[in-house]
A and B are shown apart, each in its own frame.
Chain A
Amino acid sequence: MHQPIPQPSRSLAVLAALLETRTGQQIGTERAWRVETALKPVIRDRGLETLDQLVAEAACQPEVATIVVNALLNHESSFFRDAPVFDIVTEAARDMQAQIGTRRLRVWSAGCSMGQEPLSLAMCFAESYKDHLADLPEIIATDVSDSALNRARSGRFTQFEIQRGLSVRRMIEWFDSTGPDWTAKHALLRNIQFRRMNLVADPLPGGRFDIVMCRNVLLYLAPKVRRKVLDRIAGAIRPGGLLVLGAGETVIGQSDRFRPSGKYRGLYTLDGEIAESVPSA
């Protein structure tokens, strides 16, 4: 009896289910065409020939499934992506710090990929706080992908990656030339804590945050999962704290916990009393 030959659409359905179970992300029609390209190196590295063979391996070997999920996640990122946002966040951080006094500001970069976003934030903060570096905001950076986080923790970028979005002045100030690559200086990396986290299911980082950046993550989630993630983020922000979404993302129709910030363009404020008027627990 012949085994039924898996059709490409069936493999895609298996991969979509795997990705959604592990990360909450969807393979929409706009991403479907990328699947085979993204998995080609994995197929080759495992000595396989077809996508169907890889899907069959992933179905019965959890470690292969993890490799497949990591390959499917979009690690597309650059330094200072949507650059004006970083000026606005730096200004907001300065204002918040002036209000809260000596407590260190807490910032969460959710979906940090290979670390370009938290590193960009760390550069902005270091430049903005240059007269009182001991008070630098604490940055927690999370991502669902182990491979992306390993890259992020290393602070190491190829020549192509380092030149995307980063000015040459900042590059030579904050990075060392290490062979063909460029590596973030310890002074920058030490302000960032990288943690693996699935935004949909894992426990949130402890404590409340003043600013949460969750950019270009929601767009990969199903609408009901988006609502859940926004609710979880709302629970992690101090009242009066700020949420930063990607250029094409919004809370409108997804959450009633946030309203557009009147002061900081494009940012959202968590409804409620401002942090300073909330009695500490």
Chain B
Amino acid sequence: MKTCLVVDDSKVIRKVARHILETLNFKVSEAGDGREALDSCLESTPDVVLLDWNMPVMSGMDFLRALRDTTLDRRPKVVFCTTENGMAHIRAAIEAGADEYVMKPFDRETLESKLQIVGMA
């Protein structure tokens, strides 16, 4: 069973994403900001991180940069999932190392499609 860490400061979004991911046979864990997510990755690296952009304490971009600087044995696939839907943000995320990008609002088909593209569904 593949593992996915859902990182979002909204409990509602985390709940919706968890529900969809569980129907796609993922084992899901959650984090409310980038710092919590980084700690979680250091403790147990998931296969995929579904990552919000704007969060308190540590943003999604800061998390991505910090993740790059870690010495994890394997790097999780990182899929941004955000309302920042402009071209500039998308380009910046890819340049920072994101593997895919989901523009909110999202549905099951979108999430499944993006996970297939990164080879995880």
* A177 closest partner in B (C-beta): B87
Q: Is the CB of B110 within 8 A of A164?
A: yes
8 Å CB contact of A169 from B85, B94, B102, B113? B94
**Which B residues fall within an 8 A CB radius of A?**
85-87, 90-91, 94, 98, 100-103, 106-107, 109-110, 113-114, 116-117
Which positions 155-194 of chain A face chain B at CB distance < 8 Å?
159-160, 163-165, 167-169, 171-172, 177
Q: Is the CB of A164 within 8 A of B86?
A: no
Q: Is the CB of A168 within 8 A of B101?
A: yes
Taking CB atoms, residues of chain B closer than 8 Å to A177 are 85-87
Answer yes or no: A254 CB below 8 A from chain B CBs.
no
Taking CB atoms, residues of chain B closer than 8 Å to A160 are 107, 109-110
Answer yes or no: A78 CB below 8 A from chain B CBs.
yes
Point out which of A83, A163, A165, A167 has the most chain B C-beta atoms below 10 A from its C-beta: A163
How many chain A residues have a CB neighbour from B under 8 Å?
Answer: 13
Q: Is the CB of A163 within 8 A of B106?
A: yes
Q: Is the CB of A165 within 8 A of B103?
A: no
* B114 closest partner in A (C-beta): A163
* A80 closest partner in B (C-beta): B117
CA distance A172 to B100 in the complex (A): 12
8 Å CB contact of A172 from B91, B102, B117? B91
Q: Is the CB of B113 within 8 A of A172?
A: no
Q: Is the CB of A163 within 8 A of B110?
A: yes
* B107 closest partner in A (C-beta): A160
Taking CB atoms, residues of chain B closer than 8 Å to A163 are 102-103, 106, 110, 113-114
Taking CB atoms, residues of chain A closer than 8 Å to B117 are 165, 167
Closest 8 CB pairs of A and B: A168-B101, A163-B110, A167-B117, A177-B87, A164-B113, A159-B103, A168-B100, A165-B113
CA distance A165 to B113 in the complex (A): 5
* B110 closest partner in A (C-beta): A163
Given contacts A159-B103, A167-B100, contact A172 B87 (CB under 8 A): yes
Taking CB atoms, residues of chain B closer than 8 Å to A172 are 87, 90-91, 94
20 contacts between A and B (CB under 8 A): A78-B113, A83-B116, A159-B103, A160-B109, A160-B110, A163-B103, A163-B106, A163-B114, A164-B109, A164-B110, A164-B113, A165-B113, A165-B117, A167-B100, A167-B117, A168-B94, A169-B94, A171-B90, A172-B91, A177-B87
Taking CB atoms, residues of chain B closer than 8 Å to A168 are 90, 94, 98, 100-101
What 0/1 pattern do residues 247 to 280 of A give for CB contact below 8 A with B?
A: 0000000000000000000000000000000000
CA distance A159 to B107 in the complex (A): 11
Taking CB atoms, residues of chain B closer than 8 Å to A169 are 94
CA distance A169 to B98 in the complex (A): 10
* A83 closest partner in B (C-beta): B116
Taking CB atoms, residues of chain B closer than 8 Å to A78 are 109, 113
CA distance A172 to B94 in the complex (A): 10
Q: Closest approach, in angstroms, between the C-beta of B98 and any C-beta of chain A?
A: 8
CA distance A163 to B110 in the complex (A): 6
Taking CB atoms, residues of chain A closer than 8 Å to B100 are 167-168
Taking CB atoms, residues of chain A closer than 8 Å to B98 are 168
* B85 closest partner in A (C-beta): A159
CA distance A163 to B85 in the complex (A): 12
Taking CB atoms, residues of chain B closer than 8 Å to A83 are 116
18 additional A-B residue pairs with CB within 8 Å, beyond A160-B107, A167-B100, A168-B101: A159-B85, A159-B103, A163-B103, A163-B106, A163-B110, A163-B114, A164-B109, A164-B113, A165-B113, A168-B90, A168-B98, A168-B100, A171-B90, A172-B90, A172-B91, A172-B94, A177-B86, A177-B87
